[in-house]
Structure 1
Amino acid sequence: MGVFFSLLKKELRTCFYSPIAYVVMFFFWVLTGGNFYWQLESLAHGESLTVASQWLFSGLVLPFAIPVIVPLITMRLFAEERKLGTLEALLTTSVRVPELVLAKFFGALVFYAVLWLPSIVYVYIQMRLAPADVAGFPDLGATFAGAFGVMLVGALYIAIGLFMSTLTSNQIVAAISGFALLIGSMFVTMYMAYTSQSQGVRVVGLYYSSLEHMMTFSRGIIDSRMVILYVTHAAWFLFASVRVVESKRV
């Protein structure tokens, strides 16, 4: 475990010292701030408190912003190491590949969690602005479920982006391939879930649609099937990443 935490600290230091990290943070905070402003505008124009409170983590732009933001976080994880030649040197040491992969995964996940920290401020503002005679706004249960949902979706996206980064030494290629896979799968499942004439196809689309999942979590519903789906798929991509990196050791 000591090696893992050393690798994790190194990964976090590298991540937060990177200029691109702060560019990503700035633009994502602009998007979440704009989403919160839109939420307040909707409330001011008579939108239901129940509906508006669900938009904190599933507003109009956020489900589509995450597949763009995550590949920018993960593109350098292994691609940069391969480009600089440090991955081969690292693999000649006693560092175990699973520890290396998990350290990079959790480092990216911590940074992803930091991106959502302003949501705490937004919830506090909602609590302060709520009239004294209004009970249960914001719905903290739904808020916690929504936060859990975006972290679960983010964990899978990061695992996918990390896997793409193991396949190339070019960060741009890693980012574009990760973006293409994530946004492509999102639109395909949306089409299946909301447009298909086949009931069976719609059921499959709803089961795999991250947009639908984020909306469900934001309503305060934590479905164990969704949790299993994201955990198992993230584990598969992490396992695949380990296998790819181990192949470089041979």
Structure 2
Amino acid sequence: MIYPKLPIVFLSTIASEKADATNSQIASYILAHLDEVRDMGIKDMAHQCHVAVSSISRFCKEIGLRDYAELRELLTGTELYFEESSLDVYTRHVQDCIRQVATSIDLSSIKQLCLSIKEHERVAIFGLLKAGTVALNLQVDLLMLGKQVYTQVAYASQMDYLDQTTQADLIVIFSYTGTYFNDEELRAKKKKLNDPEIWMITGEARDYPAYIDHVILFDSNHDQLSHPYQLQFIAGLIAQEYARLSNCVEDEIK
């Protein structure tokens, strides 16, 4: 996984709630004081965040954790890091990683996905952190093309949506490392995940669970520098193919 679970869950919580919301304040405090809070008990945490102990417990539940003990595990096991590079090397790297996708991705799979998006009334596109911004960008592009799809930044909200899916749903997952469904909570939804049609867009070739119906693969170095650009390029391919498909349908009608 390119990014640990803690920033995935916390940043999505901050992005999806008002700045003065209790959950946003708790998440912001923890991210700003990671070293200090690793050994804090729940009472000390509540005191530092200026909330009740019950608010900390509720926060844990609402962001998809079992309890405060699981939060402590996340805090203990989380180390933040950032891949640095010179500006010239960074520029060449981004150019190379996009070419890497262009020469490895199966365009026929992109066309098949677009047909499925067009056929389904209920379409949701999800990703976490930077993959989530790719989902948002694709949502905007598809709306400009007359197709409304659903997406959600908050990790817990994505989990809730998946829990409500039926055979009428199409789910598109952007997951750079293919680990989106590795979380315990999602594995517990295995039976439910058999209902929707699920597409995974990933740079990781592996054996995926049977409930993932289609996997669109691309070559990747699995680094932070390539992460958003490769996924965004693929989202652009999807939007362009969907536009072509829509234009073909309009021409046939005329």
- Asked whether the two chains share a fold, i.e. TM above 0.5, the reply is no
Structure with greater strand percent: 2
User: What's the TM-score once normalised by structure 1's chain length?
Assistant: 0.28
Structure with greater helix percent: 1
User: What's the TM-score once normalised by structure 2's chain length?
Assistant: 0.27
Answer 1 or 2: higher relative contact order, Cα 8 Å, separation at least 6: 1
